[in-house]
Structure 1
Amino acid sequence: MLNDLQESWCDQKTWDFSGLKALFLNCTLKPSPGLSHTQGLIDISRAIMEKSGVGVEVLRPVDYDIAYGVYPDMTEHGWETDAWPEIYAKVEAADILVLTTPIWLGEKSSVCTKVIERLYASSSDLNEAGQYAYYGKVGGCLVTGNEDGAKHCSMNILYSLQHLGYSIPPQADAAWLGEAGPGPSYMDEGSGGPENDFTNRNTTFLTWNVMHLARLLKDAGGFPVHGNQRSLWDAGCRFDYPNPEYR
């Protein structure tokens, strides 16, 4: 799964990543146990994380009956069932969220769009410090496809995550693209995907960077609170200006 350099970096690390939790949401259109080419990139990143002591969970949202909408629980808004609250509990518990998607018509999958919409539903929740709920969490993305659009998908996903409150480290995306049009996909024999040095490098850098930033934030007690507490803003506090109620 990992090449010699990837293995050696895991063995030589001097950082303690234990206690960190990562969640990969594989936004493939294929239900389990169907072959997901995106899973191939996930497996590399997951192997590095697990060798470094990070607790990792991978799931496919397509396996769940997730309602459409932008509220935390859509059963309160006319839907008979909604599995999103179950998934969101895992999102809440994770220090690292990596959204992964195939490319269709140059865009992220419809499943990935739905996931981002549902993440948005809880973006106004507040953490214990009065910040938005995703503050202190780290985001990244992985993309696979047989057509152009990897950077476009990454820009969209990473912008969405940071807008919701996630912290995005350097080099927080990685992708593999096969030849345009019909042809082998990442996990197909002869695709060259698993051996692609550029993709392996970026997947490795992404993985270490999300772990490093998650460790820094966790050890710091979260993202610094000054100037970004919604609870204080709503109470009338204007940061760095006098407020008699919050001296």
Structure 2
Amino acid sequence: MTAATSAATSAAAADAYRFDDLRALFVNCTLKPSPEVSNTQGLIDKSRAIMADRGVATDVIRAVDHDLAPGVYPDMTEHGAASDLWPVLYSRVMDADILVLCGPIWLGDNSSVMKRVVERLYSCSSLLNEQGQYAYYGRAGGCLITGNEDGVKHCAMNVLYSLQHLGYTVPPQADAGWVGPAGPGPSYLDPGSGGPENDFTNRNTTFMTWNLMHMAALLKRSGGFPAHGNRRSEWDAGCRYDAPNPEHR
């Protein structure tokens, strides 16, 4: 095989991995309102660039910029809140085939904003899709974590568990992060931090991004997550999939 043929073959293989039919939403759970610099955004930008290069339409929400009322209902203005922008953000969540929750570490744990976003995702977890499954089925989820203290794995475990419990499909190696040296020190985007050049972080971010695209494409192009044995609507109607005769009559 000539060098030209090899290059053409490689290019054709790369072009086979296009995801022009996918949309991704990154939710930045930094505590810093716009236009303050967010180190988490720096890591988001790396993942987002990979997706955009492969045709994915991407969107970013900085959650702290929006008035998200606390609560366990889809619209908290119906339950006493003066205002609640979650219904608007929820529509953007549902437009996305890929959801990436991103945020900083504080005291070894996820930010309060991250917890609020997860709670509001949970507030809509009883809603159903057209197949009678929980609404988040058929979507891929992952997370990005940043900080200058230990806790990436702990934070990622919490986020990824939450996403799969709500109905998202979590592919292999669906998290990445950067913390630098343990203890107080430079943040990801600080001059001389080494964050943007860190091979370990760049590798994990790249793998996470590709795995999310692969998983979302598998789900979307096959018509979603199989709707058998997991339909809330049929369970409520009396079907019991664990019974000898599971169909409801």
* 2:50 equivalent in structure 1: 48
Deviations 1:109-164 (CA, angstroms, capped at 9, x unpaired): 00000000000001011100000000001100000011111000000000000000
User: In the TM superposition, what is the alpha-carbon distance from 1:68 to its structure 2 partner?
Assistant: 0.7
Q: Which residue of 128, 131, 134 corresponds with 1:132?
A: 134
1:107 aligns with 2:109: yes
* 1:119 equivalent in structure 2: 121
* 1:3 equivalent in structure 2: none
Aligned 1:176-187 pairs, distance under 5 A: 176-187=178-189
* 1:92 equivalent in structure 2: 94
Residues 149 and 184, structure 2, Cα contact 8 Å, conserved in 1: no
Q: Quick check: which has more Rg, 1 or 2?
A: 2
* 1:35 equivalent in structure 2: 37
Identity among equivalent positions (%) equals: 67
User: In the TM superposition, what is the alpha-carbon distance from 1:244 to its structure 2 partner?
Assistant: 6.0
Deviations 1:188-220 (CA, angstroms, capped at 9, x unpaired): 000000110000000000000000000000011
SS at match of 2:196: coil
User: In the TM superposition, what is the alpha-carbon distance from 1:49 to its structure 2 partner?
Assistant: 0.4
Residues 135 and 165, structure 1, Cα contact 8 Å, conserved in 2: yes
* 1:76 equivalent in structure 2: 78
The CA distance in 2 between the partners of 1:118 and 1:244, in whole Å, is 34
Q: 1:163 to 1:190 in 2, by over 3 A?
A: same
Gap regions ≥5 residues in structure 1: 1-7
Q: How many positions carry a matched residue from both structures?
A: 239
Q: Which residue of 147, 154, 157 corresponds with 2:156?
A: 154
SS at match of 2:177: strand
SS at match of 2:16: coil
The CA distance in 2 between the partners of 1:115 and 1:104, in whole Å, is 16
Q: 1:134 to 1:10 in 2, by over 3 A?
A: farther
The CA distance in 2 between the partners of 1:61 and 1:232, in whole Å, is 35
Q: 1:130 to 1:244 in 2, by over 3 A?
A: closer
User: In the TM superposition, what is the alpha-carbon distance from 1:11 to its structure 2 partner?
Assistant: 8.7
Q: 1:98 to 1:9 in 2, by over 3 A?
A: farther
TM-score computed with the length of structure 1 as normaliser = 0.93
TM-score computed with the length of structure 2 as normaliser = 0.93
Q: 1:10 to 1:140 in 2, by over 3 A?
A: farther
Q: 1:11 to 1:178 in 2, by over 3 A?
A: farther
User: In the TM superposition, what is the alpha-carbon distance from 1:9 to its structure 2 partner?
Assistant: 9.2
Q: 1:11 to 1:30 in 2, by over 3 A?
A: farther
Aligned 1:98-247 pairs, distance under 5 A: 98-239=100-241, 241-243=244-246, 245-246=248-249
Gap regions ≥5 residues in structure 2: 1-9
Give the counterpart letter for 1:102 in structure 2. Answer: P
Residues 10 and 48, structure 1, Cα contact 8 Å, conserved in 2: no
User: In the TM superposition, what is the alpha-carbon distance from 1:12 to its structure 2 partner?
Assistant: 2.2
Q: Which residue of 21, 24, 29 corresponds with 1:22?
A: 24
Give the counterpart letter for 1:81 in structure 2. Answer: S
